[in-house]
Structure formats: structure tokens, C-alpha cells
Structure 1
Amino acid sequence: MTDNPNARAAQLTHLRRRKLKKGDPVALPLTMASMFNLPGTPAGFAQYGRFDNPTWDAVEEMLSHLEDAQAVAFPSGMAAISAVFFSQLKTGDRVLLPSDGYYTTRVLAARFLKPLGVTFDLRPTGAFLDGGFDGYRLVFIETPANPGLDFCDIAAACKAAHTAGATVVADNTTMTPYGQRPLDLGADIVVAADTKAPNGHSDALFGHVASRDEKIVAAVKDWRKLSGAIPGPFEAWLVHRGLETLELRFDRMCSSAETIAARLLAHPKVKALRFPGLANDPSHNLARVQMQRFGFLIGLTLETEEAAEAFINGCDLIQPATSFGGVHTSAERRARWGDAVAPGFVRLSVGCEPVEELWRALEEALERS
């Protein structure tokens, strides 16, 4: 696999071409099947809908190409995280989680890992290396952390965790393989919610696990097969279609976010701003080293909860929604979910709208808020 991201993107859309016979459809067919024709010995053939599906195979091929590692598809990002936890951990193991990352990961650990005798500790992403990693079986990194956009040094964390004997998992949902490559920085496992930018159209839940360790991949695949945590073929087809335009959309979103973040920083209604592409952001220097792009998420804080809600609901080019990474610019006030952020904190996901039109709408909504 080349390290040239442009070459990786160009090759992605031609992976299927390499297998086409004359007369085959160029577009990926959707295979809706729970049973497959299976006379005689089943080894080496599609067997049953919980085990195999050609549409999964195609989307996993694309994800594997992007990650430069074997990828395993799941019906959501949390299904991917669950597969890692339940395939890699046992009673008596200890896990380190980010205290400021996606909250559902912590809830899963509290509700279902702890009763099974798997303990966990929390540590803020910005201080993730403080205290070391001795005694941990698994270290779970999320950088940039969602929603506050704090950072940790992936390479340094992986080196220290491996020295302590831990496996490192990196949640790369916010960045995609085009923006950040945790496996290249030393992570053992990547998890991601492809519901976000990889699908990009807000119409499918999906996730994946990727690793270059064959034993990890085999365990994750066994968990999927035996637990039944399988993606639907139609969702896989939608994500396959979305991945074909991910590089184009991601480039537009990141470029627009860089323009908009600089303007938001100068706006008097914005009391605080987090975006790693800004030179004054506390994570800027680290972001320049470990990321290919600065992403499309902006964290801005307005004076009050009311101002934040007025901004979100009063902008005709913001979709109020509790997700991110779609073609629509979207936003939400994350304190409503209990995240440890200010009442007026807004997670803004920059979409694919023309940037000057988008800025006009954002500026007008800020003035009215």
C-alpha cells in the first residue's frame, strides 16, 4: 500500500474493477440473502447470512484498503467497540478509557464489563500519558476526543502502553483514515463509526474494526459470527457507495472548517473555540505531526445555553442533529447529553455546502443569537 493519500484515494474507486469479468455491472450489486447454494463440502464458500455476504466483502475490501490493515464490518460504531471489548478482555483485566471521549463507551464499560469482573479507569485525553499504563490490559484512545476536541500523542501513548504490556485501541471516528492513521502511529486496533463521514449521507449505521494482528482479527470475526452483531447488506451497500466519494467530501469539509474556524475565532459572540487547525489551539503542534488534515469538527462556546440553541435553530444551513460527518452542516449543544462541557458549547460539524454561503448563514445566526 502506498503512503500517498492521493494514490490511495484513486485506487479505492477501482478496487472492484480488478475483479470484473466482461459484462459484469460496474456498480456493486446488492446481495440480499440469508441462504446460499451449498451442496457438498461448505468450506471456501458463502454459507449463511450470519457468516458471509458478498456486499460485506466489498465494503471490507475498501475499508482494508484505506486502513492498510484487515477490516471487519459491524452494524454500528458501538458494535465495533463492543466486539473489541468482548473478544479481547476477560475477568480480572483492567482497561483505561478517556473521561472526555464518546460517553457511550464509558456506559458500556460500567453496565456490562464491570459486572463481568473487568475494571476500568478514566483519564482525560489531554493528560492521557500521565500516570503511565502499568497494569492495564487494554488502553483505549480517542483523539481528537469527542466532543471537546482535546488531543493526546498517539505514538507516545502506544510506545508507553506497549512497554507496559497493554493493547492499544484508537477510536478514529472523528478523522477517518484520510485525516489520521493510528495504526501507522503504533495502535494495535482501530475502531470507527462509519455512520459518520465514511457513509456521509446520514442514512446508515455502520462501523468497523481494523488491525494488522491476525489473532485480533480472527477473534473479532468470531465474536461477530457468534454474537450475531452483523451489518445489514443494504447498509453495507450504502457505505460502499459513500466511501467512493469520502476523499472528495472530506477534503471539502476540512478546507471549509479551516476557513470557518478562523472567522469564528474572531467573532465577538464566540467566547471560546477549539479547532486543531488554528495556530493558537493548544493541540495545534501535535495535530500538525500526527494528522494529515485538521478535521471538520469545531467546538465553539457561546455565552449561554439559550444563545447556543438560538444559533443552532436559527441558522438555515445548520441541521440540528446528534451526529456528525454528513454532507449537511450539523450542530448540537452537547451538554444536553451530560457531556462535561459548558452549557453554551456547540459541536459544529462542517458539511459540504459552498463555504461562503455557509459562513454567511452562520454569521447571521450568530448575530441573532
Structure 2
Amino acid sequence: MNGQYGDSTRSVKAAASQHVPGQPVASPPVPVSAYHLSADESQPMDTYGRSSNPTWRQLESALAELEGATSALSFGSGMAAITSVLRVIVKPGMTLVVPADGYYQVRLYATEYLAPLGVTVREVSAADMCAAAESADVVVAETPVNPTLDVVDLHALGIICRSRGATLVVDNTAPTPLGQQPLSLGADLVVASATKALSGHSDLLAGYVASCHAEVMAAVERERLLAGAILGPFEAWLALRSLGSAGLRFERQCHNALAMALMLRDHPAVRAVRYPGLPEDPAHAVACAQMRRFGGLVSFELADAAAVHRLVERSALVVSATSFGGLHTSVDRRARWGDPVADGFVRMSLGIEDTDDLIADITAALA
């Protein structure tokens, strides 16, 4: 990968099919459950749809290139990706650190399924992640954390984990590999939900794992084969097709997010705006050191739940939805899902609408 390429060029190049005369420019999906077998049983080949698929391979090659990894594996969802990794690398007797302020289902999986097996699970905020790593065997860091958008210092965390022989797993869903590359900052594995900004159309579920550790990736691939947490070939094709425009979409989403954060911080109805791209944000200095773009999410607080609902009702452009990273700007009141935030806490995912239209619409809806 040429480091001089811009994000859109990287995205198009990663998703492109091989330049073979007479072959399609856009690779078609390969929906298949069974393959013709060779009489030579020692010959490496595709045999069954749960173990391999040509569309997977092209998508995984693209994801590995974008993440700066030697390999990547696709999964049926982001949770399928991270739970597969945890089943492989976390053993009874180990101490596992998970984000206390990050995606809540990772905490639930750790406490409901790993703790009963003899794993010590510690839930730690982004601010305390480095200190907690001093006594951990496996650290799962999410940065920026969803939904509070605090930032973990990955370089410092990576140094601590390497010095102790601990494994560092980083959830790169929110910034995407176009905004942040955790492997270059010391992570051993990257996990992410490709459902969000990379696919970006709110029409598929997908996840992936990327790494430069061949042995760990082989074990994760074996786990995927046996557990069956695979990505369907059509979904893989949709994700691959979406990757080509990811750079263009993510650039607009980040631009809209900064513009929205700047407007919201000065609005009298809004409290406690968080966006790593704001110069006054507590995480801005760390974010500048490790992020190329600050992402398409903005969090802020309104007076109460009713104020959040009024915002959605009065807006002509915003939709209410719990996922993020899509074409449409969306709002999610996170307290409804049990996140430890105020009733009026909002996670806004900025879409690709024209910036001036979005700012005018939200300003009017808040009035």
C-alpha cells in the first residue's frame, strides 16, 4: 500500500478487482455452498461454503490493506468478530479488561459467558485503561469509545501491553481504518463492525478481525469454521462494493461532524458536547497524536428524554436509529439501552447530507 494515497484512492484501490483483460471491472458475488472436488485430495481448494468463499477473500484482502495488516477475516457481525477473538485468546485464570464506557454488549458477553469459565473480568473506563493494563492478560480497548467518545492513548497502552506480554485488542469501529490504524500504534489485533461507516448504507451486518500475527489469525479462522459465524457471500459482496466509496463518504461525515460539534457547543439548549476534533475537547491532544480523522460521531446532552424526542420530531433530516455510520444523519438516545448516561444524552451519527442543510435543520429543531 502506497502511504501517499488519499483515503478515496485507498478505498477504491483496496476494493478493486484484479486488472485482468476480459474480466469484469466489478467482481460479482459468488453465492456457493459446495464446490467441485478434485481427485487429487492433497490439492488446496475450496470445498464448502462455511470454510471459504472467493468473495470473502477479496473483501478480506481489502480490509487487511486498509488496516495495514497482513491478513483479515470477515464475520457475520462485529460481535461475531470480537467474541470469536475472545474465545481464542482468553483462557480460564486470565484477567480480561473491557471498556466500562464502550459498547455495552462487549461487557455483557465478558461477564455472562467468560466470567463463569474462570476469567476475571474488569470493566475499566478509557481514562483508566493504561493503569488497568498493568495487571491484565488481555486488554480490549475501544477508541473513541461508543457512545461517550473519550479516547484511549493507544501508543501508551501498547507499550504497557508489550512489556508484560499482554494481548491488546482494539475496536476500530468508530474511526475506521481511514481515521485510525491501531496496528501501527501497538495493537495485536483489530476488531470492527463493518456494519457501520465502512459499509455505510444501513443495509447489512458484517464484522472483521485484522492482524499481523499469523498463528492467532489461524486460530481465529479455525474458530470461525467450527462455530459457523460466517459472513454470507452476498453481504460480503455488498460490503466490498461499499468500500470503494468509503473514503468519500467518511470524509463528508467527518466534515459534518466537526461543523455540527462547533454549532452545538454554542447552542443554549445543549450541554456537554464531546467530539475529539474540537480543540477544547479533553481527548483532543491524544486524538491528534493517533487519529487521521476524528470520525462521524458527536455526543451531547439535552435537558431530558423529551427534548431528544422533540429534536427528532422537529427535524426534517434526522432519523432515530441505534446503529451509526450510514448515509443518513441519525440520533440515538443511549439511556434507552441502559448505557450509564443522562436521560438527555444523544449520540449523533452524521451522514453525507450537505453541511449547511444539516446545520440549519438541527438549529431550527433545537429552537
Q: TM-score, normalised by structure 2?
A: 0.96
Residue in 1 aligned with 2:145?
145
Shift of 1:151: 1.3
Q: Which amino acid aligns with 1:106?
A: R
Residues 56-83 of structure 1, C-alpha deviations (whole Å, 9 max, x = no match): 1111111011012111000100000011
Asked if structure 2 preserves the Cα contact closer than 8 Å seen for 1:311 and 1:366, the reply is yes
Residue in 2 aligned with 1:340?
340
Shift of 1:95: 0.3
Residues 170-199 of structure 1, C-alpha deviations (whole Å, 9 max, x = no match): 001000001011101000000000000010
Query: Matches of residues 185-204 of structure 1 in structure 2 within 5 Å?
Result: 185-204=185-204
What is the aligned-residue identity percentage?
44
Moved more, 35-44 or 181-190: 35-44
Residue in 2 aligned with 1:273?
273
Q: Distance in 2 between matches of 1:353 and 1:291?
A: 23
Q: Which amino acid aligns with 1:297?
A: L
Shift of 1:25: 1.2
- The alignment partner of 1:122 has SS state of strand
- The alignment partner of 1:72 has SS state of strand
Shift of 1:12: 4.2
Residues 100-123 of structure 1, C-alpha deviations (whole Å, 9 max, x = no match): 010000001111111222221011
Residues 308-367 of structure 1, C-alpha deviations (whole Å, 9 max, x = no match): 121123211111000000010011100011111111010000000001011111111111
Query: Matches of residues 254-333 of structure 1 in structure 2 within 5 Å?
Result: 254-333=254-333
Q: TM-score, normalised by structure 1?
A: 0.96
Residues 5-45 of structure 1, C-alpha deviations (whole Å, 9 max, x = no match): 51x64254245766343221111111111001112134321
- The alignment partner of 2:73 has SS state of strand
Q: Distance in 2 between matches of 1:123 and 1:131?
A: 7
Q: Within the alignment, does 1:85 sit opposite 2:86 as a pair? A: yes
- The alignment partner of 1:184 has SS state of helix
Q: Which amino acid aligns with 1:288?
A: C
Query: Matches of residues 155-234 of structure 1 in structure 2 within 5 Å?
Result: 155-234=155-234
Residue in 2 aligned with 1:112?
113
Residue in 2 aligned with 1:133?
134
Shift of 1:153: 0.5
Query: Matches of residues 59-98 of structure 1 in structure 2 within 5 Å?
Result: 59-69=59-69, 70-98=71-99
Residue in 1 aligned with 2:26?
27
Residue in 2 aligned with 1:57?
57
Query: Matches of residues 36-55 of structure 1 in structure 2 within 5 Å?
Result: 36-42=35-41, 43-55=43-55
Matched residue count: 365
Q: Distance in 1 between matches of 2:254 and 2:334?
A: 21
Moved more, 59-68 or 9-18: 9-18
Higher relative contact order (CA 8 A, sep 6+): 2
- The alignment partner of 1:273 has SS state of strand
Asked if structure 1 preserves the Cα contact closer than 8 Å seen for 2:133 and 2:139, the reply is no
Q: Distance in 2 between matches of 1:202 and 1:313?
A: 21
Moved more, 263-272 or 306-315: 306-315
Shift of 1:294: 1.1
Q: Which runs of 4+ in 1 moved over 4 A?
A: 15-18
RMSD after superposition: 1.4
Asked if structure 2 preserves the Cα contact closer than 8 Å seen for 1:87 and 1:223, the reply is yes
